[in-house]
Chains A and B, each alone.
Chain A
Amino acid sequence: NAGVIQTPRHKVTGKGQEATLWCEPISGHSAVFWYRQTIVQGLEFLTYFRNQAPIDDSGMPKERFSAQMPNQSHSTLKIQSTQPQDSAVYLCASSLDTGGEVFFGKGTRLTVV
């Protein structure tokens, strides 16, 4: 079990460019979460899928952020027209069942210059 895999681990983009972050959840886990971590805001919930269906995207900035889960083995978080304030560590996590332990990936550090 390789755990939750996130790629890339680091990404640098220029202001206004697009960034796509990838997540491979643990095999068999039905729930996939995305979080954003910053020093100021802490660990912010972004969005959540269960059995590939979007359940809650209440934390997503609506205009430029989108997330998809086209199959049970991966999810993507896309940020269009990146801005410096998007710089953060983006964490993906998965869970075997609802309400249970959540397993985190090592994160993608996004830097917008």
Chain B
Amino acid sequence: GDSVTQTEGQVTVSESKSLIINCTYSATSIGYPNLFWYVRYPGEGLQLLLKVITAGQKGSSRGFEATYNKEATSFHLQKASVQESDSAVYYCALSARTGGYKVVFGSGTRLLVSP
């Protein structure tokens, strides 16, 4: 079945430094899945950060970017300069046709930004 892998359970970055959170996926569908990053800020519900539905394209939101790399089956999340307010849990996810478009999530990466 479809799956998403996030290798880091927690990442700590100093404020104003760059960030990369790794995500790789495996999808059995013909064609390419839709890819997403969701975020849960402290005390809030899970919400969409960005999505990309076309292989090779880049999505961006709130200074974060992720590029859909179909060759590497990756969708890493990057930010050039993090802020303390970016501290949250980030989830990579996919939705594919052969999965009936159910949304499958990675295990999540907690980002701690230190001042």
> Contacts A58-B1, A99-B53, A99-B95: A107 and B104 contacting too (C-beta < 8 A)?
no
- A-binding segment of B41-49, B65-73, B76-84: B41-49
Interface of A is mostly: strand
Closest 9 pairs (CB-CB, A-B): A42-B107, A98-B101, A43-B105, A104-B46, A55-B100, A48-B102, A99-B101, A99-B95, A99-B34
Q: Report yes or no: B102 in contact with A56, Cβ–Cβ below 8 A.
A: yes
Closest B residue, CB atoms, query A44: B105
Residues of A within 8 A of B106 (CB): 42
Residues of A within 8 A of B97 (CB): 99
A21 close to chain B: CB less than 8 A: no
Residues of A within 8 A of B91 (CB): 43
Residues of B within 8 A of A33 (CB): 102-103
A91 close to chain B: CB less than 8 A: yes
**Residues of chain B at interface, number, CB under 8 A:** 23
A106 close to chain B: CB less than 8 A: yes
> Contacts A99-B53, A101-B51: A45 and B46 contacting too (C-beta < 8 A)?
no
Residues of B within 8 A of A41 (CB): 107
A26 close to chain B: CB less than 8 A: no
Proximity bits, B81-115, A CB within 8 Å = 1, else 0: 00000000001000101011111111110000000
> Contacts A99-B53, A105-B45: A42 and B101 contacting too (C-beta < 8 A)?
no
A112 close to chain B: CB less than 8 A: no
